Structure 1
Amino acid sequence: MAHKFAEIGFTDAVKSVQQTMGSRSAYARREVGSDINRPLGPDEIKFLAERDSFYIASVSEIGWPYVQFRGGPAGFLRVLDEQTLGFADFRGNRLYITTGNVATDSRISLLLIDSPNRRRLKILGRMHVIGTQDDAALAARLTFADYASAVERVMLIKVEAFDWNCPQHIPPALPKTILRQVSPLTGSVDGCRTNRRHRSADIRRSSLRCRSSLCTARRTRGPSRPAANCFRHCGLVRQDAQVLSLPL
C-alpha cells in the first residue's frame, strides 16, 4: 500500500461508494508504489508549529464518535519526532469525554485548519494519556510557562497517517497580524457599530490596506508545497488571490 491514509480510510464500503460516484480509478493510483504520508515531513512539521488550535475526534466504547476543539498557544501541539505528537491537556469544562474515550479505544483523528491560506491537514493516530507526575520531563517539555491554564495531563499521539485536503470550501479568514493592524482604526466591535457613520470611511480604507497586504503576501510567498499538491490532487489550479472584506 502506497498512501498510508488511503490504506486506513479506504475501506471496502468507501471503495464501493467511490466506484459508484466515479472517483475510484483516480484514488486507486494511491494504492501502488512506495509508502508515503506516514512519517511527518518538513512541511507538516512547520504547519503544526504554526497552529494554535485543532479538532480531535474519538470514539466511545458504545461506538459513538465525539469531536472536540482544542486551543492553546501557537505550536502547543508539538512534534516530538516524525511519528509522535504531544500536547498538554489544559483544564477546560471537565467533561473528560475524549480522555475517557481513548482509555478504551486509542484511535483518534485530528483536523488542523489554516483558514487565511486555505490549507487543511488531517492526521490519523493513536493517543495515550500520561499523568504529569508519571513523566515530569515530558510534561515540562509540553507546558507553556506563560500560558495561564492548569495542565491536568499530557497526551502522546503516534501518527499512523496524514493527508492534505484540497482548499475547496475552506472559508478564508483574515490572519491575526492583519486584524491587529485594523483594530486601532476600527476600535471595538460595539464602538464600530455605534459610530458606524463616523467610522465607515476609516474602516473601508483599513479594509483596502488589509486586502492589499494579504494579496501582496500571497504573491510574494507563493503556494506552499502541500497546497500545490492539494491543488493537483483535486484537479484545481488557482492563480488568483482571495480578496477578503471586513463586515461593516
Structure 2
Amino acid sequence: MTRIVEKMQGSAGERRLQQAHGTAGRAQRFYDQQMLDHLNERMTAFVGRQEMMFVATSDDAGECDNTFRAGPAGFVHVLDATHLTWPEYRGNGVMASLGNISENGHVGLLFVDFVSDVIGLHVNGRASVVEDEVARAAYPELPVDPVPGRRAERPVLVEVQEAYIHCAKHIPRMAKAPRKREWGTDDVRRKGGDFFGAAADAGPRPAPAAVTGPVPGPLTRWLHSLVPGR
C-alpha cells in the first residue's frame, strides 16, 4: 500500500515562492503523486544498482557541504522501507560530512543513473554515524566488503523522511568505461594531486581551536539500545 508523506510537503520557503510565482498547483501534484515518506520496491531496487551518490549536509549553523560517495553496486544498503546505510571508507581524514552529521543530522542524498535508467532519486532524512560493530549488532545482514581499502570504517545510517524522483529530461546519458580504482590509497598522483593548484595558493592557516566531542544523535542512541549490554 502506497503511503504519501504525512507532514506538510515542502518547506515554508517553497510554499511562499510557489504562491508568488503561480506554481502551487503544479507543485502540489508533484508532492501528491511523486513524493513518499519511504522507499518503495522500485526505489529500493534502484538504490541497489547504483555505484555512486551525492551527499548534502550542513553543520548546526547551516554551513553546507556537498560531496560524492562511490562503491560497488549496492554499497548503499536499504535496510527496510524507512532506513538505509552506506559505508564510510578511509578518506582524507577531514570527515566534513560526518562532522556535519554529528551536529545536524539532516541529509540530502541524490542518486543519478547516467548509464541505464537515466533517472535520479532524491532521499532526504535524518542521519547518524555509528561504529561498525554497533550497526552489525542491530543489522547482522549487513554485507562485509572483502576488498582492502574498501572496508567500512564506520557506517552512516539514515532514517528516510522523503523520497522522490529527479526527472530524466536534463540528465545526460553516459557510457561506462572500465577503470581500475585505487581504494584507500594515499598515492598523491592517483588521488589527483594538486589538480586545481590549491597548495600554491594556500596561505598560512591559524591553528584550529579545541572542540568538544560530538553528541550522539537519536538514531545512534536507538542503535546502541539494541545492542545487549549497552
* Distance in 2 (alpha carbons) for counterparts of 1:23 and 1:135: 43
1:115 alignment partner in structure 2 = 114
CA contact (8 A) 2:90 2:149 kept: no
* Distance in 1 (alpha carbons) for counterparts of 2:123 and 2:153: 24
1:132 alignment partner in structure 2 = 132
CA contact (8 A) 1:38 1:162 kept: yes
CA contact (8 A) 1:86 1:142 kept: no
Cα 1:166–1:30 shift into 2, 3 Å: closer
Cα 1:135–1:169 shift into 2, 3 Å: closer
Q: Give the root-mean-square deviation of aligned CA atoms.
A: 2.6
Give CA-to-partner distance per residue, 1:145-173, whole Å, 9 cap, x none.
13642421111111011110211221111
1:172 alignment partner in structure 2 = 173
Unaligned runs of 5+ in 2: 179-230
- 1:1-248 aligned at under 5 Å gives the runs 3-4=4-5, 7-8=8-9, 10-29=10-29, 37-116=36-115, 117-137=117-137, 138=139, 141-146=142-147, 148-174=149-175, 176=176, 179=177
Give CA-to-partner distance per residue, 1:176-222, whole Å, 9 cap, x none.
3xx46xxxxxxxxxxxxxxxxxxxxxxxxxxxxxxxxxxxxxxxxxx
Give CA-to-partner distance per residue, 1:78-115, whole Å, 9 cap, x none.
01111110122111111111111111111101000001
The TM-score normalised by the length of structure 1 is 0.63
Cα 1:135–1:107 shift into 2, 3 Å: same
Cα 1:165–1:152 shift into 2, 3 Å: same
Cα 1:64–1:29 shift into 2, 3 Å: same
Unaligned runs of 5+ in 1: 181-248
More helix by share: 1
The TM-score normalised by the length of structure 2 is 0.67
Determine which structure has more spread, i.e. the larger CA radius of gyration: 1
Corresponding letter in the other structure for 1:45: T
* Distance in 2 (alpha carbons) for counterparts of 1:165 and 1:136: 32
Cα 1:36–1:171 shift into 2, 3 Å: closer
Higher alpha-carbon deviation: 56-65 or 74-83: 56-65
Corresponding letter in the other structure for 2:25: S
How many residues in Structure 1 have an aligned counterpart in Structure 2?
A: 174
Offset at 1:32? 6.3
CA contact (8 A) 1:49 1:76 kept: yes
Identity %: 24
Corresponding letter in the other structure for 1:145: P
Corresponding letter in the other structure for 2:150: S
* Distance in 2 (alpha carbons) for counterparts of 1:97 and 1:139: 28
Corresponding letter in the other structure for 1:92: G
Higher RCO (CA 8 Å, separation ≥ 6 residues): 2
Corresponding letter in the other structure for 2:20: T
Three-state SS of the structure 2 residue aligned to 1:40 is coil
